[in-house]
Structure 1
């Protein structure tokens, strides 16, 4: 893996640090219900703040389609970050322009500021150079600590890295070092577990993994696409049916490379996706037409555990 710079390689005191984090956390009735992602990035925030940096948090939340939408505002997230961090976290009503500039100018060394949702601007997901430059105007240094969003070449995850001195945060460093341990020169057998909703965002990743690992466990919504490509009826489940051909090709390449593809053999299904919905466990070829797959079943868990125990 190519060398990358970490917090150990920079001097951040007195600098405006644009820190990209993943704060796309579950929220109900305006309250964060799971702070795990916040907890993952707090060590980097705290270290930079204690070093005297002006810590400016960049993040996205949901899919607001490139324009401001109050239901996707990061404002309710600031108190949750503040609670985990144990110190005040300011908030600016935009991530660029006058609102962001004034909020950054008002910061003292060690302060933490959360800017509004980067996806409130179309330039974010388009990785627009002008939008990236507008973000960069408020920073001296760029640090990426959002590993879970790093596969997307957006302005705040990729464009900024070309405009400012760039470093990996502690969470990003941990993930990259784990990848090197698992894919650089690993002890065999190697098992990769990949989840998420979409195959379309991970085609290259999945293809590359089939040539590097001994078993590829596919879960989450993307497992449904592979199951459907194999001819299994997945009912109303989240599924990219138009990518059946791609899924088939990945399975063919895996077989040729000697990589076992592990898909669910049983599943927990329900007729609606909501808390408390009635559910049942069925064999994967017995999914009702009016139901959706929401989790793997115990037999699948057992198979995955057996592979993990061997790894």
Structure 2
């Protein structure tokens, strides 16, 4: 694939920069924004005209909102005005993109305000492509998404990979190799949490093959408990309960449950918010929901001895004060921060951790498990299609991703 770092921009070039800011008005963590600043400044300094696209929230649950707070932050950080136009598919938006002055930057409306974005609607992608002549793809946190403003744009315009996208992937390479090659001293442990289905569909399926122990929390844990016949009350099962349940059954059939931590005690919240520590074998009352759990002593000891630990998602509802499992994991790794990697924007923002971090959640999981992401495949196909004379060497064999059990 083509790298933006290898391209020398020229005055007047019309760029669409597909970023992955996904930061709310509080700007609690700006890592996903800051990683794009150098590329934006370089294009602007060279006189390129930049139509900036990004997302925040989701149309599916009504959390998508306008991005004027991002334009204000970008203006401060870049030291130049970044205009905000709260639309991206209208004639007004196309005119604004055409009228950008050399070096000018306009942030257009939240792509996820349109339901077609998350469906990868090809017509929406075609319309968005009218904002420029070439596209730079940033936002590693969305690298696994086949969305209209991500992979969809690459069906219409020549594309380049931005430095932040490439840098995040390269930073993950040692973790991918370490998980599968046996080159790391000590066992490897993965902690999975949160509510997104990829934690089960990608994480549980893949990391149970490459890690000695997987400690599930959040929807991953609730799904495993449900398919093994435990009563889980009104515990959250996420947006794809059937798909996650199918994968959980497949993993349990393959592993027999070996290498998967299931707690003996869960923390459940009642209808009044009161918390109860409940033995798992007694089940969770119908009006309670699992919000946390107690990590078993054997798992704590393995965490202490582990050569590598991945934490992909908070294992309990950390933002609501349910921190038993997270505190136990982080305390067990306090002596080895360099061997512990946190994945995902919410995880990084919520957990008190100063060690290695990646803003990618589902994208980092996909990259670690499969060795690629949807946007890298789309960028490679785009380069082959739009630059057929470029020399591309034969692909090297993929690195081993599994450890014999």
TM range (shorter): 0.7 to 0.9
TM-score normalised by L of structure 1: 0.77
Consecutive unaligned residues of structure 1, counting only runs of 5 or more, are: none
RMSD of the alignment, in Å?
Answer: 3.6
Task: Note if 1:11 corresponds to 2:8.
Answer: yes
Contact map agreement 2:268 2:289 (CA 8 A) in 1: yes
- Worse-matched range after superposition: 97-106 or 235-244: 235-244
SS in structure 2 opposite 1:137? Answer: helix
SS in structure 1 opposite 2:172? Answer: helix
Deviation at 1:224, TM superposition (A): 3.0
Contact map agreement 2:57 2:63 (CA 8 A) in 1: no
Question: Which structure carries more relative contact order (alpha carbon 8 Å, separation 6+)?
Answer: 2
Deviation at 1:156, TM superposition (A): 0.9
- Worse-matched range after superposition: 47-56 or 16-25: 47-56
Q: How does 1:57-206 map to 2 (within 5 A)?
A: 57-65=52-60, 72-184=65-177, 186=181, 187-188=183-184, 189-199=187-197, 203-206=201-204
Deviation at 1:262, TM superposition (A): 4.5
Cα pair distance change 1:106/1:212, threshold 3 Å: same
Deviation at 1:85, TM superposition (A): 3.4
Deviation at 1:70, TM superposition (A): 11
Contact map agreement 2:200 2:220 (CA 8 A) in 1: no
Task: Note if 1:226 corresponds to 2:252.
Answer: no
Deviation at 1:202, TM superposition (A): 5.4
Rounded Cα–Cα distance in structure 1 between residues aligned with 2:35 and 2:22? 12
Contact map agreement 2:264 2:279 (CA 8 A) in 1: yes
- Worse-matched range after superposition: 263-272 or 75-84: 263-272
Residue 250 of structure 1 corresponds to which residue in structure 2?
251
Deviation at 1:183, TM superposition (A): 1.8
Contact map agreement 1:92 1:99 (CA 8 A) in 2: no
Q: 43, 47, 51: which is aligned to 2:38? A: 43
TM-score normalised by L of structure 2: 0.61
Rounded Cα–Cα distance in structure 2 between residues aligned with 1:130 and 1:137? 11
Deviations along 1:220-241, one digit per CA (max 9) or x if unpaired, are 4444323433445444432245
Rounded Cα–Cα distance in structure 2 between residues aligned with 1:93 and 1:299? 41
Contact map agreement 1:58 1:117 (CA 8 A) in 2: yes
Rounded Cα–Cα distance in structure 2 between residues aligned with 1:90 and 1:5? 28
Residue 260 of structure 2 corresponds to which residue in structure 1?
261
Consecutive unaligned residues of structure 2, counting only runs of 5 or more, are: 292-316, 341-405
Rounded Cα–Cα distance in structure 1 between residues aligned with 2:162 and 2:253? 37
Contact map agreement 1:207 1:250 (CA 8 A) in 2: yes
Residue 299 of structure 2 corresponds to which residue in structure 1?
none
Rounded Cα–Cα distance in structure 2 between residues aligned with 1:222 and 1:233? 15
Cα pair distance change 1:126/1:244, threshold 3 Å: closer
